[in-house]
Amino acid sequence: MNIINKIKPSILLLFSALMFIACTVDDEGDELLEEAFLSNGNFESGQDKWIFYPNGGTAEIDNSLSNGKGSNSAKIATNGSSNPGIKQERIGVGVINPGDIIQIDFDHIGSVAGDGGIVNLILFIERAEGESGAPITHIFEPRPILSENWTTYSQSYTIPNNAIVTGGISFLIESVCGGDSGCIVNANIDNVIISINP
Ligand SMILES: [Ca+2]
C-alpha cells in the first residue's frame, strides 16, 4: 500500500466528520429560526402563541373565515372608542440583531365605517426583561386598508445598528376607533409571517 492509499481513508473520515458537523449546525439553526420567529401565524391552533386584547372591543378567533387552508383567522373589531388587538411578544431573542431587516406580512379583510377608524401594525424592539430603557416603537405607514377581499399587507423595518435587541421583538396588530361616533372597524387577520433579512 502506498502512502496515498493509507491517507485516503483518513481524509474520507475527516471529510465525513466535517460534513456531519456542518449539517448538524445547519439543522439546529433552522429549528432555532422556526422556533424563534413566529408560530401559529395562521391561527389554526387558536390563540396559541398569541395574546388577544379585547381592550373594550372584540379580539377573538373567528372559525368561520380563513384565507387559504384551514378555518380560522383572528377577528379584531371595534364600534366605539377602543383598540382591540393581537400581539406576539419577545420572539427571536438571541437571533434577531441590530441591523437586521424585519419583514412582517399578513392578510386582512374587513371594513371601516364612519370617521377615525384605522388598523395599526406596531413593532417593538425589546430590551431584556428588567433591562432599563424604553423599547423602540415603530408604527408602520401606510396602514393596512381594509376591503371586502383578502389583501396581503407587507412592511419592513431595519433595526438601527445601535439598538438593543436583547429582548427580541414584539408586534401588535390592532383595530382602532378614536372618539368619533359612528366609527366601526371590522378586521380579520390571517397568515402572519415574519421574515428576517428576506
Ligand atoms: Ca387561517
Q: Is 100 helix (H, G, I), strand (E, B) or coil?
A: coil
Q: Measured in angstroms, how far is the CA atom of residue 68 from the centroid of ligand 1?
A: 7
Taking only the tens place, the pLDDT of each residue in 28-67 is 444 444 444 799 999 999 999 999 999 999 999 999 999 9
Give the pLDDT band (50/70/90) at residue 113: very high
Q: How many angstroms is it from 70 CA to the middle of ligand 1? A: 5
The string of pLDDT tens digits covering residues 66-90 is: 999 999 999 999 999 999 999 999 9
Gap from CA of 11 to ligand 1 centroid (Å): 51
Residues within 5 A (CB) of ion ligand 1? 42-43, 66, 70, 72, 190
Cα–Cα distance between 61 and 167 in angstroms, integer? 27
Cα of 140 vs centre of ligand 1, distance in Å, is 23
Torsion sign, CA atoms 126, 129, 133, 134: positive
The CA 125 to ligand 1 mean position distance, Å, reads 26
187 C-alpha vs ligand 1 centroid, how far in Å? 14
Strand partners, 111: 186
**How far is ligand 1, taken at its centre, from the CA of residue 191, in Å?**
6
Peptide bond into 142 cis (omega under 30): yes
Residue 166 identity (one-letter amino acid): T
DSSP string, 61-80: EETT--SSSSS-EEEEEESS
How far, in Å, are 39, 177, 180 from residue 113 at the CA level? Answer: 32, 10, 11
Question: Domain residue spans in the chain?
Answer: 1-36, 40-196
Q: Which CATH code of 2.60.120.260, 3.90.1520.10, 3.40.50.11810, 2.60.40.1930 fits the domain covering 40-196?
A: 2.60.120.260
**Alpha-carbon gap, residue 98 to 75, rounded angstroms:** 33
Q: Residue 76 C-alpha to ligand 1 middle, in angstroms?
A: 14
For 4-23, how does the pLDDT look when each residue is reduced to its tens digit (9 = 90+)? 555 555 555 554 544 444 43
Tell me the one-letter amino acid at 83: N
The alpha carbon of residue 79 and the mean position of all alpha carbons in its chain are separated, in whole angstroms, by 26
